[in-house]
Amino acid sequence: MAKSREKIVFVCQECGASRPRWHGQCPACGAWNTMVETVIKPEPRVRRRAGAPRNVPQRLPAISADGLERLPLPMPEFSRVLGGGIVPGSLVLVGGDPGIGKSTLLLQVAALVSETSGDVLYVSGEESVQQIKMRADRLGITTDHLLLLTETNLETIISHIEQLRPCMAVIDSIQTVYLEDLTSAAGSVSQVRESAARLMHVAKGQGLPIFLVGHVTKAGAIAGPRVLEHIVDTVLYLEGDRFHAYRLLRSVKNRFGATAEVGVFEMGNEGLTEVANPSEAFLAERLPQAAGSAIAVTMEGTRPLLLEIQALASTTSFGLPRRTANGIDFNRLLLLVAVLARRVGLRLSDQDVFVNVIGGLRVSEPAADLAVATAIASSFRNAPVAADMALVGEVGLSGELRSVSQLDRRLNEAAKLGFRRCLVPKSWRRGVTANANIEVLTARSLAEALDLALIR
């Protein structure tokens, strides 16, 4: 009889909406071809265990925050992204493209925490313990307190956690674990959601920090993205170009710290190493007097980053000029080319224009507009940008320069790296924290800025 109580629904793998009938397009989020047939058994939900403590309302002064002391993590770049260490009982999702270095990063973090704080359990559903051991050898990890487990059954994993009582656990990856109660395949939205909810329960119940690895789908979101992002406390993305060594760890949600914080790492033979001074690293290979190169000062979270932007304008050999953007938004490039053509009078209509951000990074901030436009003009006129100059500013459609946030911090970073001049929008007012070692040039429009920046 039990079987007849099973229900069949169709669950959207994007947003988790369920419908009694199949739809080609999810009625809730509009995604196509994402509805998957799912059998729902009665009572699959996690129930409160007998004897588990019930919560009662407490008065604010009576609550102590002592239990929330963060575990120290001797990896400052990672620690800062988390908001200053690992919060006990937190569930942290680390997402990223396959092969970007998620397993490597978390194995290194697990080893560091195990050296300072005690046993750490690293559960892999993707690699055998021998494979992980080989990687650990390569990374030079020798700690006694790191326990490896290959397992995909979540109930078994949780019983190991309850027995071992580690001070941190890593689940690599959330898409490979499954709950037997659910009939859908591992990696489906219902499995991912229920597994994460179960792990949240364990994390909060034991005060145990748990890191989940999540794969990114083709569309660029973690499978079952919205459901997972809502459940976990913190969402970090490891990004970067596979062909470049630099990796950015970005926090997009954090219940225990600021979001938009960024950690910079470099992938090498000994795994990921921290890059303490990224601006310096990104500028290392610059040719100072080359035409078509400009330095932008962008902000990643609270952190200023100096980046080299390169452009090449060359006469097209086809009827239709090409525009290629690498590291900046393509539409932003089209806009800047149009502004350069109409407001500055550059004849770009028969030019192929290529723009590249050095280091495989992506810039989404409009504050880099001025540097991008200047690099294009510099290449087109074959006139280099002054080598000691950095550029900051948003370019508007009338060719005007618009002010950007946190200019003082950007100026300080540029000064720190030895830039003696910075070109900024006219509306800027020097704040009290600005560095006096850098000369600030101002321009009202893009045309004015090019006159100041390019050497003829």
Residues that bind Mg ion (CB under 5 A): 103
Using DSSP bridges, classify how beta strands 303-315 and 293-300 pair: parallel, antiparallel or unpaired. antiparallel
What is the contact mask toward ligand TYD in residues 113 to 152, using x (rule: CB under 6 A)? ----------------------x--xx-------------
104 binds, among ligand TYD, Mg ion, none (CB under 5 to 8 A by kind): ligand TYD
Least distance between Mg ion and beta carbon 216 (Å): 12
Least distance between ligand TYD and beta carbon 75 (Å): 15
98 binds, among Mg ion, ligand TYD, none (CB under 5 to 8 A by kind): ligand TYD
Cβ-based nearer residue to ligand TYD, 210 or 401: 210
How deeply is 59 buried, as exposed, middle or buried, from its count of CB atoms within 10 A (0-12, 13-18, 19+)? Answer: exposed
Beta bridge partners of 292: none
Sole binder of ligand TYD in the list 99, 144, 315, 436 (CB under 6 A):
99
Least distance between Mg ion and beta carbon 335 (Å): 38
Should residue 100 be labelled a site residue for ligand TYD when binding is judged by CB under 6 A?
A: yes
Q: Could you tell me how many residues of this chain bind ligand TYD (CB under 6 A)?
A: 15
Should residue 267 be labelled a site residue for ligand TYD when binding is judged by CB under 6 A?
A: yes
Cβ-based nearer residue to ligand TYD, 165 or 244: 244
Cβ-based nearer residue to ligand TYD, 172 or 448: 172
Residues 6+ apart with CB under 8 A from 120: 110, 111, 113, 114, 145, 146, 147, 166, 167, 168, 169, 170
Contact in structure between 387 and 420 (CB atoms under 8 Å): no
Task: Determine the distance from the C-alpha atom of residue 242 to the mean position of all C-alpha atoms in its chain, rounded to a whole number.
Answer: 14
Instruction: Pick the stretch among 34-42, 91-99, 327-335, 385-393 that binds ligand TYD (CB under 6 A).
Output: 91-99
Which position has the token pair 């100059």?
389
Q: In the Cβ-directed half-sphere of 280, how many Cα atoms lie within 13 Å?
A: 7
Beta bridge partners of 234: 92, 254
Contact in structure between 256 and 233 (CB atoms under 8 Å): yes
Q: Where does this chain bind ligand TYD (CB under 6 A)?
A: 96, 98-104, 135, 138-139, 267, 269-271
